Amino acid sequence: MDATVWSGRHVHFVGIGGCGMSGLALMVRARGASVTGSDQSQSEVTDLLTASGISVAIGTSADSIATGTDLVVASAAVQGDHPEVARAQAMGIETISYAEALGRSQEGRTAVSVAGTHGKSTTAALLAHILVESGLDPSVIVGATCPQLGGGTRTGAAIIPLGTLKGNPGIFVAEACEFNRSFHCHRPTIALINNVEEDHLDVYKSLDEIVKAFRVFAGLLPAAESGGRLLIAHEGAHRRAVASGLVCAVSTFGWSPSAEYRIDYDPATNATSVWHAGKELLSWRSRLVGEHNALNASAAGILALWLGAERAQVEAAIASFAGVDRRMQFLGECVAPSGARVRLYDDYGHHPTECERTLAALRAAENPSRLICVFQPHQHSRTRFLLEQFAQCFSKADLVIVAPIYFVRDSEVERTLVCAADLARRLVEGGTDARAIDTFEAIGEFLNAQVRDGDLIVVMGAGPVWKVAHAFAASTRGECEPQIRQQRASASASIA
């Protein structure tokens, strides 16, 4: 398919208010399609879509599928027996998934797919920020709110306007998620694989299956002579199994002197540099702390250079990048009713490696009197499969409060096999002070009663545990509430 794949078509999005779907809907419309959609409930996102001129039906009705609809795009949460999907199939209308629609949108573009178990949102958003600041006008779909991008989505130029790739098809940066092998629907020209670890074990039977899935993804890249390029981590991405024998050009990045792009990072100054062929390629001091963010930024910087950005522009953009919401996001300093002054962070981490790296980075950067982590496990299956890793990853915290496990996608049987108290018990057995608390309200009461001057609280998890941070801030005074109001405003502005 070419760049005109959407032009003149009527596309209906089922679940249009969801993450990614709304941004893709806007992008498809900007590329010439007539777009309608539906969602189970009204939200700020659906209101923004309506205000932008997209007709959104609230509720589920087969009547939402109008005569003349050419294509139906269904979100991952939509089942095959959904009335709108069933009506579309009965009418002979092609129905595809969000991932398939995203892949079609990459056709006719210089598509950059950002993959890996961790760091996709931050890296993709940072790459997009660099490209915007460099005048390369990319299209973007990122699965997190980035205020500097005006949200998580943008539609850019159809042709690259300047730089070494001037005149080539426009750049399109998108996250490539391995869940349910959806990244196999991508059609990348350039790809990044940050890391590969055990996750989504409700879909994959083993790490070997995950590695094979990343191998299939890498195999989607075109041949080197057609511009196909893969950047893969030298350490932690199973690069030999994933990248050997590919027809695209392959480059590695990482700490090792053997990496083609070698990274130096000084945690004392938060300074990072990238070296290539014995010469310094990039250097900067970032607002984002931690080794993991040094790796994320290095990957984004390398890709930006490949896409035609200039060194000075790349370095300045990385240094100015403030991050994305819920990724080690500083909400402000609060004064509890007791008078204790504490610093409050919100984070999306829900995998043992993410939790460990975030806590280590906060410990090193802030050196708090106590580091308190409120953690909500995401999925019962993930918690059960990775229980031993979770039991070891909170060692940098002085106190861990485990909220009830967020129940999503798992079966009711799976729900009975593990609970928050099981994780708290394993943490205590390993020497970490921990307790399970049954409700968000009770967690807030506990925090207000227990916090001391100089504490740092990080609220962590992919579920609604962010509400604990907001409620705690509301119960205190200080800088947090203005920060949270700004976060809510940016979240409202984002429809990706």
Give the pLDDT mean for 186-198.
96
Cα–Cα distance measured from residue 12 to residue 451, given in angstroms and rounded to the nearest whole number: 50
For helices 291-306 and 352-366, the axis angle rounded to 10 degrees is: 100
Task: Report pLDDT digits (tens) over 356-390.
Answer: 989 999 999 899 999 999 999 999 999 999 999 99
Q: How far apart are the first and last CA of the chain?
A: 24
Domains of the chain: 10-98 (3.40.50.720), 107-320 (3.40.1190.10), 329-493 (3.90.190.20)
Q: Are strands 477-478 and 399-402 parallel, antiparallel or unpaired?
A: unpaired
| Mean residue pLDDT across the chain | 91
For 326-339, the pLDDT digits (tens) are 888 999 999 988 88
pTM above 0.85, yes or no: yes
**R_g over Cα of the chain:** 23
Alpha-carbon torsion, ordered 37, 39, 43, 45, to 10 deg: -40
Give me the phi and psi of 16, to 5 degrees please.
Answer: -70, -20
Model confidence at 4: pLDDT above 90: no
pLDDT score for 479: 62
pLDDT at 454 over 60: yes
Q: Give yes or no for residue 496 having a pLDDT over 50.
A: no
Distance between CA atoms of residues 470 and 324, nearest Å: 17
Residue 481 pLDDT greater than 90, yes or no: no
Per-residue pLDDT at 114 exceeds 90: yes
User: For residue 475, what pLDDT is reported?
Assistant: 85
What average pLDDT score do residues 1-25 get? 84
Model confidence pLDDT, tens digit, residues 277-321: 999 999 999 999 889 999 999 999 999 999 999 999 999 999 999
Residue 40 has pLDDT above 60, yes or no: yes
Pick 317 or 63 by higher pLDDT: 317
Residue 90 has pLDDT above 60, yes or no: yes
Q: Which of 69, 67, 47, 66 is nearest to 58 (CA)?
A: 47
pLDDT score of 461 more than 70: yes
pLDDT at 196: 96
Is pLDDT of 440 > 80? Answer: yes
User: What sign has the CA pseudo-torsion 265, 172, 260, 167?
Assistant: negative
Q: Across residues 440-458, what is the average pLDDT?
A: 94
- Mean local confidence (pLDDT), 178-184: 93
Indicate the angle between helix axes 311-320 and 291-306, nearest 10 degrees: 150
Residues 6+ apart with CB under 8 A from 308: 134, 136, 160, 162, 163, 164, 165, 166
d(CA 127, CA 191): 12
Q: pLDDT for 120-160, tens place per residue?
A: 999 999 999 999 999 999 999 988 888 888 887 889 999 99
Give yes or no for residue 495 having a pLDDT over 50: no
User: What Cα–Cα distance (Å) separates residue 375 from each residue in 35, 372, 418?
Assistant: 39, 10, 15
β-strands 329-335, 477-478: how paired?
Answer: antiparallel
Looking at residue 42, its amino acid is Q
> Given pLDDT bands bounded at 50, 70 and 90, which one contains residue 494?
very low
**The residue to which tokens 């700490």 are assigned:** 255
Find tokens 């199994």 and name the residue: 241
Is 60 exceeded by the pLDDT of residue 1?
A: no
Q: What does the pLDDT average to over 478-484?
A: 57
| Cα 118 to Cα 3: distance, rounded to the nearest angstrom | 31
Beta bridge partners of 263: 274
| % of residues, the chain, pLDDT over 90 | 76
Q: For residue range 75-84, what is the model confidence (pLDDT) as tens digits?
A: 987 887 899 9
